[in-house]
């Protein structure tokens, strides 16, 4: 690891970028949370799930649609896909322009237009850009290619109901404290969303064994050991089981607060018992990302450093380094970095739950869910 600890790296980041703040380490800690979200998002993109991914979309609870939770990332079935072309000029690529170009390929009148720009005049990209929404689906736009005179853009109609959600959780430890003050609150919040998202519910025997229960449309219960039942649903074609099933994935990174190599603290155990998958971003992974892209980047990665620093200077005009809005050139560099180092990046993560599983198995499960015939299932 290029730094002795995350604590040392956080101090270095604070000194180099957040020197103007009253509490530079605390400011750097907040930025670390954003970096974890960005790493998760670009891993999903590199795995091939860009077209299915939405950001901060509301998720209704299973069996209780009066309550809705925003989740970091949700993966949705794709109903339709279109390709359009937009001329390259000095104007923003707005939802209005995209829907106008799409009008001869689809009935866009059934969608309510959203006031989002896929690319604005400041060269800022909106990831997972929603341009229209209906009761049952919504339209997302992303770039396919950039030519000399025009952009080729893909527009995807996604179902409202996702097949997977990803939530990122990190709590820093302030100077003088042994434990972050909101750790347990964040753990419980994440656990609640994970437990209420899907039709596959968790139950326990008096011996502590974890079982899953899912109901068919006639309210007939089906019960099996949890992981066994989860896998059966994921790899089946059973419409009754898949219709309201959502795979829940938690990504945590807390560096000694929730987790040590020898001890899973209470908060981490709460999350591990709630999410279907819980994966941990290691100190080594986060440190390598920060060192190679932000603190000491090579020339080909410098656009990422520039976008990060410009977003956190004292006189910043706008933040162009978030999971939602990203500098256009920095996005291209991040995509290149993840393609080139995918094997290394996958090794940044430890699987906490299900016990004994590898990250490759999560990717296989996402691929299996993505490839279902969702038009028939819904």
Domain spans, the chain: 1-77+161-198+246-378, 78-159
pLDDT at residue 28, rounded to an integer = 82
What pLDDT, on a 0 to 100 scale, did the predictor assign at position 246?
Answer: 98
- DSSP letters spanning 133-149: E-SSEEEEEEEEEE-SS
Integer-rounded Cα radius of gyration of the chain: 21
Strand, helix or coil at 261? coil
Q: Of the candidates 127, 152, 155, 151, which has an alpha carbon nearest to the alpha carbon of residue 141? A: 155
pLDDT in tens, 11-52: 888 888 888 888 887 788 788 889 999 999 999 999 999 999
pLDDT: which is higher, 327 or 174: 327
For 199, how many CA atoms within 13 A lie in the half-sphere containing its CB? 21
What tokens appear for 103 in the block? Answer: 């009008």
Q: Give residue-wise pLDDT tens across range 123-136.
A: 999 999 999 999 99
| Strand 277-281 relative to strand 247-252, pairing | parallel
Nearest-angstrom CA–CA distance, 305 and 269: 35
Could you give the CA distance from residue 312 to residue 321 in angstroms, rounded to a whole number? 9
Please report which helix (H) or strand (E) contains residue 86, including its range.
strand 78-87
What residues contact 13, with CB distance under 8 A and at least 6 apart?
Answer: 28, 31, 32, 290, 294, 295
What is the rounded CA–CA span in Å between residue 96 and residue 166? 30
Q: Is the per-residue pLDDT at 95 higher than 60?
A: yes
pLDDT at position 141: 97
CA distances 46 to 27, 40, 43, 167, 334, Å, are 29, 10, 5, 18, 10
């Amino acid at each position: 690891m290029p730094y002795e600890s995350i604590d040392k790296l956080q101090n270095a980041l604070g000194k180099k970028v957040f020197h103007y703040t009253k509490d530079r380490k605390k400011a750097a800690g907040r930025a670390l949370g954003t970096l974890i979200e960005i790493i998760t998002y670009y891993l999903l993109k590199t795995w091939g799930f860009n077209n299915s991914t939405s950001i901060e979309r509301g998720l209704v609870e299973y069996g209780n649609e009066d309550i809705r939770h925003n989740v970091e990332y949700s993966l949705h079935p794709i109903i339709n896909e279109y390709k359009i072309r937009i001329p390259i000029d000095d104007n923003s690529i707005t939802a209005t322009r995209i829907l106008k170009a799409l009008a001869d390929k689809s009935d866009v009148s059934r969608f309510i237009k959203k006031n989002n720009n896929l690319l604005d005049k400041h060269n800022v990209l909106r990831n997972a850009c929603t341009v229209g929404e209906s009761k049952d689906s919504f339209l997302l736009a992303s770039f396919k290619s950039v030519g000399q005179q025009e952009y080729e853009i893909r527009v995807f109609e996604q179902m409202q109901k996702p097949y997977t959600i990803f939530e990122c959780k990190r709590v820093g430890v302030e100077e003088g404290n042994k434990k972050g003050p909101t750790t347990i609150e964040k753990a419980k919040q994440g656990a609640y969303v994970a437990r209420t998202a899907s039709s596959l519910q968790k139950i326990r025997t008096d011996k502590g064994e974890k079982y899953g229960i899912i109901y068919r449309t006639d309210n007939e219960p089906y019960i099996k050991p949890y992981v066994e039942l989860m896998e059966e649903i994921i790899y089946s074609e059973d419409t009754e089981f898949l219709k309201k099933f959502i795979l829940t994935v938690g990504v945590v990174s807390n560096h000694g607060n929730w987790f040590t190599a020898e001890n899973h603290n209470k908060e981490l155990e709460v999350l591990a018992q709630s999410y279907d998958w819980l994966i941990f971003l290691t100190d080594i992974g986060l440190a390598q990302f920060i060192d190679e892209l932000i603190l000491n980047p090579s020339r080909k990665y410098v656009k990422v450093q520039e976008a990060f620093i410009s977003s956190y200077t004292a006189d910043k005009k706008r933040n162009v380094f978030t999971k939602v809005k990203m500098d256009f050139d920095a996005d291209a560099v991040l995509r290149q970095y993840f393609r080139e180092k995918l094997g290394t990046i996958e090794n940044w993560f430890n699987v906490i739950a299900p016990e004994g599983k590898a990250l490759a198995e999560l990717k296989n499960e996402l691929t299996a869910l993505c490839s279902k015939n969702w038009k028939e299932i819904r």
